[in-house]
């Protein structure tokens, strides 16, 4: 028993993904701690566990997504709960300070980190908190994490879902599904920016392209246009707005459909096109602007993803990333765009743990590194 | 804005009284008007006398008469929508001879101004689909205007790198960036398909830009953008990674998230920075989509147009950057010189189908066209002051349909011109100076050619001003009419001379010289016949070269000719460089002549007088005697003292009268005269008379001879043909001779045999 234990990494088990806007942290809370273990457990380890599991918010900006936690999970022979925590990247220094205050470096654990911040903050971790990061590639982590979460499922339910009747707003319903035999898939990761990967197997993938018009663009433009400050606020406004007051539609130019090219009158001809006129600029609401920004960014991602899928000859497009969090406007729009423009050839798939796969992948690396000594 | 401008009518709506058939393209801010007119202008004709009746020795060889000729011209004028009413009024007042009942209209504004147009012009507005007009116009300019397309390189020596038009213009991708983006694949004249598009386009830049910066005008937004720093607003790869994302090859400066900093930083952003970030965001997005579509449809020619691009260096730069990035340089972003006119040209063509404009070849009239960027105040304050914001394009219908020489090795990579003066600043300086220096002489000769007409001096002065102005424009904007070359400078001068009714200033000089040279023909031939074979071959080549010294196009020679008219054939031979020549393939040529005769030789001839009569004809005679058929290609219209096709016909008749070898060859159709289709002192082998191409093919031409500086040095020096070729010239310009490593009157004798496949 003891011998086997040695192979396991020491607690606490963290996986971290430091993105451009958000830091995603997964924490495995062992639920099978024996009395003996409990006694041996050092005080600060205990306090970290208690701090993380007894709160759902940390400081002003940290949040634990309780609804996403994976219960009764067995990882590396231990049973427990996987917690999902996020906080803004600009709070990274406060986080590192906390690591120093809690004397994290004394815990003999490896901090596995991915995302650009693993590189950017590496030196800060070292100098401020005497912590050495194990840096991991973000796309590797994303894929490993995604495949893992999909394989263990979401507390007995499927992790994956799609929309039935995506082209019919009345009857468009979310349907769970299995990502059985997932390859090849086009994986579209929408964070601050967007990366698009063609994944052929567990360890065979390539980055096809990316775009700088992503979640950061949506939020950035919304902040400038409406004065809002958070993603939640921006989405809330967007849900109430009407983008057709801001965008110029095909029918605004041609009076109806543009039949020569088979364009529907309701299609957007020019995003923000109405805003060329002062009169229209004076007559729209912040909500309309937020909605138009959301629709513009989403449609553009859909369009690029669809072209990549066709070029790569892949018919399954999986959308992940925190841009899709609490954002049914975008998920439905993407589902519609894939279906409509491909005439039913492409299917958009979504995953419940949207933006956390990189962090999960980093945690898996921690467990893997100690499994094969 | 001042809506009551006074139009300088003779400069802008030219030839309106002869206009028929109108089309108009009204965009968001600019109106483009197109019409067709017939232009009456003078041409010099030569006519042979009836020699049976007139045999007096002192009578000239042929008579020259100036006749009125009517040619077709297309006019395109671009102006700001603000002037539309003034312009319509002006047109109404000057439109006298038209039977037109309708005006073809396209563009977003056509609907808005429909009533105004119908009321003012009493013409019915007939709307045409915007995109089909655009494509039709695009096909037309690509087919008819060499150097229409260019690559934009902001930091290169010359920002505009003009492209050779591929003989087959299809297929291509047209990315039209208006308020939205349309991506159209064009496969043939009538077959095109909108394969995609995007709603993020010029309207997004304008609309979002106006919201973010409170700046209303599109141009002002672009100005803001050109002063901004996008890195203050965008989240870069290095903002996330601290440096590059090395394993994916993403550099640190790459934009990871457009406007990403405004989401996370709580601060004020400058208008300039936001506008710049927006410009990058939209340009990159369009570039990316264009690349994805180009890849999917396997297309490498991608043209960009629409108001977002239209003459704006800032957007051309960002789009070019984006295309380079996304295709890793495999696809180049191409732009069009007359992009703004495509819709108007297309609409016009749709209304003019009964005139079959696509059956003809058209040529840009440099005299009547404003150059690229003519209305850009930054680039050309002079032009703006002169004609308001009016930009013009004129296309002349060419008498003949023009095609490639079938013997070109690779028509798609053929570049006629030897030196691109757009890129070679030193050469540009020299030649512009040279043409300025020569201008007085040209004016003098133009007046002298029309002594019987008292107002000739006044017209000649107008010609001087026009050409002088063109040269000044080209000094500041060498790219105004495509690549600047010695050929384009010469052609522009010819166009300006024609503009002021000096169709052939050298007609009398040519007549006198032809007459004089004919008197020596028999003597020259006789003395050649007395030589043995080796001596004769060398004498023939030397004669050809010596004849080529007589060239009014070269300043050094025209000076001598003018001061010493007795400067004779023998004198010219003495001036020639001794062998070895600057380029000397004479031995190879002689070895070849010892072999079997060529089947058929195509000879592009140069000057009148001694050159054609005492240089070319004896040489041709020798080829004919060897059993080689000869096709003599001469200019269709006059240029300097070059012999024209109609003059050559008379000369050939006269020589045939004296020389049985020539006579028999003409009778047996072994000596044929064809027109080149050109009126230029230079030669573009990709734009030659269709008849010439047919003859060349039918006769199995296996030797091409190109003579003279204009045709063999300034152009075609590097032209590669599928058959043997002889390029020969005497360098009559010391600057050029020096450049080539020689002295004035150096000889180029280039004999080339294509590598065996």
Q: Same domain for A26 and A84?
A: yes
Q: Same domain for A104 and A25?
A: yes
Is residue A1 assigned to a domain? Answer: no
Q: In this complex, is the C-beta atom of B283 within 8 Å of any C-beta atom belonging to chain A?
A: no
Q: Which residues pair with B600 in a beta bridge?
A: B629
Contact B204 A310 (CB under 8 A): no
Q: Same domain for B635 and B531?
A: yes
Q: In this complex, is the C-beta atom of A48 within 8 Å of any C-beta atom belonging to chain B?
A: no
Is residue A155 assigned to a domain? Answer: no
Q: Is A2 helix (H, G, I), strand (E, B) or coil?
A: helix
Q: In this complex, is the C-beta atom of B311 within 8 Å of any C-beta atom belonging to chain A?
A: no
We report the CATH number of the domain holding residue A83 as: 3.30.420.510
Task: Identify the closest residue of chain B to A23 by CA–CA distance.
Answer: B240
Q: Same domain for A178 and A311?
A: yes
Is residue A146 assigned to a domain? Answer: no
- pLDDT of res. B58: 59
DSSP symbols for B126-154: EE--HHHHHHHHHHHHHHH-TT-EEEE-T
Q: Same domain for A169 and A103?
A: no
Contact B263 A192 (CB under 8 A): yes
Is residue B102 assigned to a domain? Answer: yes
Q: Same domain for B354 and B453?
A: no
- pLDDT of res. B8: 56
Is residue A53 assigned to a domain? Answer: yes
Distance in Å, alpha carbon of B174 to nearest chain A alpha carbon: 15
Rounded distance between C-alpha atoms, residue B527 and residue B513, angstroms: 21
Distance in Å, alpha carbon of B76 to nearest chain A alpha carbon: 26
Compute CA B421 distance to the chain's CA centroid, rounded to the nearest angstrom: 14
Contact B262 A224 (CB under 8 A): yes
A 125-164 residues with CB below 8 A of B?
137, 139
- Which tops the pLDDT comparison, B553 or A334? A334
Q: Same domain for B75 and B108?
A: yes
* Interface ipTM: 0.95
Identify the domain boundary among A223, A257, A283.
A283
Q: Same domain for B611 and B627?
A: yes
We report the CATH number of the domain holding residue B431 as: 1.20.1700.10
Q: Same domain for A182 and A328?
A: yes
Listed as ranges, residues in chain B with pLDDT below 70 are 1-11, 49-59, 96-98, 374-389, 551-568, 757
Rounded distance between C-alpha atoms, residue A19 and residue A15, angstroms: 13
Query: What's the average model confidence in pLDDT over A152-172?
Result: 93
Dihedral over Cα of B253, B257, B263, B267: its sign: positive
Q: Same domain for A108 and A215?
A: no
Do A229 and A249 meet the contact criterion of CB atoms below 8 Å apart? no
pLDDT tens track for B486-526: 999 999 999 999 989 998 999 888 988 888 889 889 999 99
Do A274 and A247 meet the contact criterion of CB atoms below 8 Å apart? yes
Q: In this complex, is the C-beta atom of A212 within 8 Å of any C-beta atom belonging to chain B?
A: yes
Strands B629-634 and B600-604: parallel
Strands (E), B247-386: 255-257, 301-305, 332-336, 362-364
Contact B207 A272 (CB under 8 A): yes
- pLDDT of res. B664: 97
Q: Same domain for B466 and B606?
A: no
Task: Report chain B residues whose CB lies below 8 A from the CB of A266.
Answer: none
Q: Same domain for B142 and B156?
A: no
Phi, psi of A278 (to 5 degrees): -60, -40
- Residue found by looking up tokens 């409990």 in the block: A38
Strands B746-752 and B583-584: parallel
Q: Same domain for B560 and B652?
A: yes
Is residue B443 assigned to a domain? Answer: yes
Identify the domain boundary among A226, A261, A283.
A283
pTM: 0.90
Distance in Å, alpha carbon of B160 to nearest chain A alpha carbon: 29
Is residue A8 assigned to a domain? Answer: no
Is residue A65 assigned to a domain? Answer: yes
Task: Report chain B residues whose CB lies below 8 A from the CB of A223.
Answer: 262-263
Which residues form the domain of A121?
Answer: 13-141+357-370
Task: Report chain B residues whose CB lies below 8 A from the CB of A276.
Answer: 179, 203, 206-207, 210
Q: In this complex, is the C-beta atom of B200 within 8 Å of any C-beta atom belonging to chain A?
A: yes
Is residue A232 assigned to a domain? Answer: yes
Rounded distance between C-alpha atoms, residue B373 and residue B275, angstroms: 23
Task: Kindly indicate the confidence band of residue A257, based on its pLDDT and cuts at 50, 70 and 90.
Answer: confident
- pLDDT of res. B351: 86
Q: Same domain for A265 and A322?
A: no
Distance in Å, alpha carbon of A363 to nearest chain B alpha carbon: 20
| Residue in A29, A69, A138, A352 annotated catalytic | A138
- pLDDT of res. B386: 36
Round the average pLDDT of chain A to a whole number and report it: 93
We report the CATH number of the domain holding residue A344 as: 3.30.420.40
Q: Same domain for B108 and B155?
A: no
Which of B203, B246, B328 should one mutate to test binding to chain A, selecting the residue with the greatest count of A CBs within 10 A? B203
CA-wise closest residue to A297 among A329, A326, A320: A329
Q: Same domain for A185 and A318?
A: yes
Provide the 8-state DSSP code for A20.
S
Q: Is B721 helix (H, G, I), strand (E, B) or coil?
A: strand
Q: Same domain for A253 and A307?
A: no
Q: Same domain for A206 and A268?
A: no
- Which tops the pLDDT comparison, A122 or B94? A122
Which of B240, B294, B318 should one mutate to test binding to chain A, selecting the residue with the greatest count of A CBs within 10 A? B240
Which residues form the domain of B39?
Answer: 16-146+342-397
Q: Same domain for B140 and B155?
A: no
Q: In this complex, is the C-beta atom of A235 within 8 Å of any C-beta atom belonging to chain B?
A: no
Rounded distance between C-alpha atoms, residue A117 and residue A18, angstroms: 5
Is residue B353 assigned to a domain? Answer: yes
- pLDDT of res. A50: 92
Identify the domain boundary among B315, B336, B357.
B336
User: Into how many domains does chain B fold?
Assistant: 4
A138 is catalytic: yes
Q: Same domain for B100 and B197?
A: no
Q: Which residues pair with A318 in a beta bridge?
A: A187, A349
User: Into how many domains does chain A fold?
Assistant: 3
We report the CATH number of the domain holding residue B535 as: 3.40.50.10880
Contact B260 A211 (CB under 8 A): no
Tokens of A241: 């707005």
Compute CA B19 distance to the chain's CA centroid, rounded to the nearest angstrom: 25
Task: Report chain A residues whose CB lies below 8 A from the CB of B288.
Answer: 209, 211, 304
Distance in Å, alpha carbon of A28 to nearest chain B alpha carbon: 26
We report the CATH number of the domain holding residue B164 as: 3.30.420.40
Task: Identify the closest residue of chain A to B184 by CA–CA distance.
Answer: A261
Q: Same domain for A197 and A297?
A: yes
Is residue A121 assigned to a domain? Answer: yes
Rounded distance between C-alpha atoms, residue A95 and residue B239, angstroms: 18
Is residue B329 assigned to a domain? Answer: yes
Q: Same domain for B83 and B185?
A: no
A 63-102 residues with CB below 8 A of B?
88-90
Is residue B254 assigned to a domain? Answer: no
Q: Same domain for A230 and A297?
A: yes
Dihedral over Cα of B5, B9, B12, B13: its sign: positive
């Amino acid at each position: 028993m003891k011998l086997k234990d040695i192979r396991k990494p020491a607690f606490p088990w963290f996986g971290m993904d430091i993105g451009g806007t958000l830091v995603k942290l997964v924490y495995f809370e062992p639920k099978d701690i024996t009395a003996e273990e409990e006694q041996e457990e050092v005080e600060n380890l205990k306090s970290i566990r208690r701090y993380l599991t007894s709160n759902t918010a940390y400081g002003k900006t940290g949040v634990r997504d309780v609804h996403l936690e994976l219960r009764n999970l067995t990882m590396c022979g231990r049973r427990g709960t996987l917690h999902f925590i996020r906080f803004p990247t600009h709070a990274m220094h406060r986080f590192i300070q906390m690591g120093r205050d809690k004397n994290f470096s004394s815990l003999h654990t490896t901090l596995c980190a991915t995302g650009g911040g693993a590189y950017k903050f590496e030196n800060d971790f070292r100098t401020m908190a005497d912590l050495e990061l194990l840096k991991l590639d973000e796309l590797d982590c994303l894929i490993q994490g995604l495949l893992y979460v999909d394989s263990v499922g979401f507390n007995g339910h499927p992790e994956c879902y799609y929309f039935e009747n995506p082209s019919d707003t009345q009857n468009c319903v979310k349907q769970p599904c299995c990502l059985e035999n997932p390859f090849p898939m086009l994986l579209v990761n929408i964070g601050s920016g967007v990366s698009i990967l063609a994944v052929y197997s567990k360890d065979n993938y390539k980055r096809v392209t990316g775009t700088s018009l992503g979640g950061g663009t949506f939020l950035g433009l919304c902040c400038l246009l409406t004065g809002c400050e958070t993603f939640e606020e921006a989405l809330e406004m967007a849900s109430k707005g009407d983008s057709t007051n801001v965008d110029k539609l095909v029918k605004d130019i041609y009076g109806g459909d543009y039949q020569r090219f088979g364009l529907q009158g309701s299609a957007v001809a020019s995003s923000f096109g109405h805003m060329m006129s002062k009169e229209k600029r004076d007559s729209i609401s912040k909500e309309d602007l937020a909605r138009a920004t959301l629709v513009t960014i989403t449609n553009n991602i859909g369009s690029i993803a669809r072209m990549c899928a066709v070029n790569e000859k892949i018919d399954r497009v999986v959308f992940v990333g925190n841009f899709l969090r609490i954002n049914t406007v975008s998920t439905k729009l993407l589902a519609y765009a894939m279906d409509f423009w491909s005439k039913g050839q492409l299917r958009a798939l979504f995953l419940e743990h949207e933006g956390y796969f990189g962090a999960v992948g980093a945690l898996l690396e921690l467990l893997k590194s100690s499994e094969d000594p | 804005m001042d809506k009551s401008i006074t139009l300088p009518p003779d400069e802008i709506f030219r030839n309106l009284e002869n206009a028929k058939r109108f089309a108009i393209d009204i965009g968001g801010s600019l109106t483009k008007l197109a019409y067709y007119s017939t232009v009456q202008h003078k041409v010099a004709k030569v006519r042979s006398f009836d020699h049976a009746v007139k045999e007096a020795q002192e009578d000239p060889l042929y008579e020259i008469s100036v006749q009125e000729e009517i040619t077709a011209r297309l006019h395109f004028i671009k102006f700001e929508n603000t002037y539309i009413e003034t312009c319509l009024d002006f047109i109404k007042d000057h439109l006298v001879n038209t039977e037109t009942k309708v005006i073809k209209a396209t563009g977003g504004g056509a609907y808005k101004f429909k009533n105004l147009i119908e009321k003012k012009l009493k013409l019915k507005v007939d709307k045409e689909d915007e995109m089909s007009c655009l494509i039709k116009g695009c096909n037309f300019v690509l087919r008819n205007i060499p150097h229409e397309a260019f690559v934009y390189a902001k930091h290169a020596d010359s920002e505009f790198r003009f492209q050779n038009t591929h003989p087959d213009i299809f297929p291509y991708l047209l990315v039209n960036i208006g308020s939205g983006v349309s991506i159209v694949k064009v496969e043939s004249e009538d077959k095109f398909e909108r394969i995609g598009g995007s709603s993020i386009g010029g309207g997004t830049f304008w609309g979002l830009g106006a919201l973010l910066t409170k700046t209303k005008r599109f141009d002002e937004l672009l100005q803001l953008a050109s002063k901004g720093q996008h890195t203050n607003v965008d989240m870069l790869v290095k903002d996330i990674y601290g440096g590059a994302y090395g394993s994916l090859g993403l550099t640190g400066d790459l934009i990871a998230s457009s406007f990403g900093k405004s989401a996370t930083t709580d601060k004020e952003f400058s208008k300039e920075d936001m506008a710049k970030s927006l410009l990058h965001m939209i340009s990159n997005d369009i570039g990316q989509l264009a690349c994805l579509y180009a890849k999917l449809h396997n297309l490498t020619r991608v043209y960009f147009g629409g108001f977002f691009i239209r003459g704006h260096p800032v957007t051309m730069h960002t789009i070019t950057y984006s295309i380079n990035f996304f295709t890793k340089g495999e696809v180049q972003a191409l732009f069009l010189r007359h992009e703004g006119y495509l819709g108007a040209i297309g609409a016009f063509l749709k209304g003019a189908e009964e005139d079959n404009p696509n059956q003809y070849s058209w040529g840009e009239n440099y005299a009547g066209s404003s150059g690229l960027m003519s209305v850009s105040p930054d680039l050309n304050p002079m032009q703006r002051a002169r004609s308001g914001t009016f930009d013009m394009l004129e296309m002349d219908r060419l008498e003949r349909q023009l095609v490639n020489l079938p013997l070109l090795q690779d028509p798609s990579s053929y570049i006629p011109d030897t030196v691109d003066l757009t890129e070679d600043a030193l050469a540009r300086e020299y030649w512009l100076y040279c043409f300025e220096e020569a201008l007085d002489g040209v004016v003098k000769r133009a007046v002298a050619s029309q002594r019987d007409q008292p107002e000739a001096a006044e017209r000649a002065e107008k010609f001087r001003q026009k050409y002088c102005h063109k040269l000044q424009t080209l000094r500041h904007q060498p790219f105004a009419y495509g690549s600047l070359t010695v050929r384009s400078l010469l052609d522009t001068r010819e166009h300006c001379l024609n503009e002021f009714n000096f169709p052939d200033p050298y007609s009398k000089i040519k007549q006198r010289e032809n007459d004089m040279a004919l008197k020596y023909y028999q003597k020259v031939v006789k003395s050649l016949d007395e030589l043995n074979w080796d001596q004769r071959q060398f004498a023939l080549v030397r004669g050809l070269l010596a004849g080529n010294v007589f060239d009014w196009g070269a300043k050094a020679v025209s000076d001598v000719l003018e001061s010493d008219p007795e400067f004779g054939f023998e004198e010219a031979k003495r001036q020639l460089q001794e062998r070895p020549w600057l380029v000397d393939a004479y031995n190879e040529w002689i070895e070849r002549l010892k072999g079997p005769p060529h089947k058929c030789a195509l000879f592009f001839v140069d000057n009148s007088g001694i050159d054609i009569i005492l240089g070319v004809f004896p040489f041709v005679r020798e080829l004919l005697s060897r059993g080689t058929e000869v096709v003599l290609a001469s200019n269709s219209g006059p240029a300097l003292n070059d012999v024209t096709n109609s003059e050559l016909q008379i000369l050939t008749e006269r020589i045939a009268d004296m020389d049985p070898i020539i006579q028999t060859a003409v009778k047996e159709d072994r000596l044929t005269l064809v027109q080149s289709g050109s009126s230029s002192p230079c030669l573009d082998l990709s734009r030659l008379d269709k008849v010439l191409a047919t003859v060349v093919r039918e006769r199995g031409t296996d030797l091409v001879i190109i003579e003279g500086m204009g045709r063999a040095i300034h152009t075609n020096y590097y032209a590669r043909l599928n058959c043997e070729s002889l390029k020969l010239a005497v360098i009559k310009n010391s600057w050029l001779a020096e450049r080539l490593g020689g002295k004035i009157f150096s000889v180029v004798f280039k004999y080339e045999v294509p590598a065996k496949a």
